[in-house]
């Protein structure tokens, strides 16, 4: 059996490594927040990720590019 996993596509330039934590910086109303993610796949332009903490990343959020 296989497990179905929902991934989110983000630009590869949105992925950062901050103090050993891989994540994306999401712009919430309260300000920017680093959301830790696991990278499922990545190429030169796009990465497919899953949030380490479910619910912290969802469609429609704005991510910062670096």
* Per-residue confidence (pLDDT) for residue 11, from 0 to 100: 97
For 10, the token pair is 């983000």
The residues facing 63 across adjacent strands are 26
Q: pLDDT for 5-45, tens place per residue?
A: 889 999 999 999 999 999 999 998 999 999 999 999 999 99
Residue 5 CA to residue 23 CA, distance in Å, equals 18
pTM confidence score: 0.87
Residue with tokens 């330039």: 13
């Amino acid at each position: 059996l296989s497990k179905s996993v929902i991934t989110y596509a983000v630009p590869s330039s949105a992925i950062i490594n901050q103090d050993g934590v891989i994540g994306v910086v999401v712009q919430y109303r309260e300000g920017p927040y680093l959301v830790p993610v696991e990278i499922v796949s990545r190429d030169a332009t796009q990465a497919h990720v899953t949030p380490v903490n479910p619910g912290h990343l969802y469609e429609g959020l704005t991510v910062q590019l670096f």
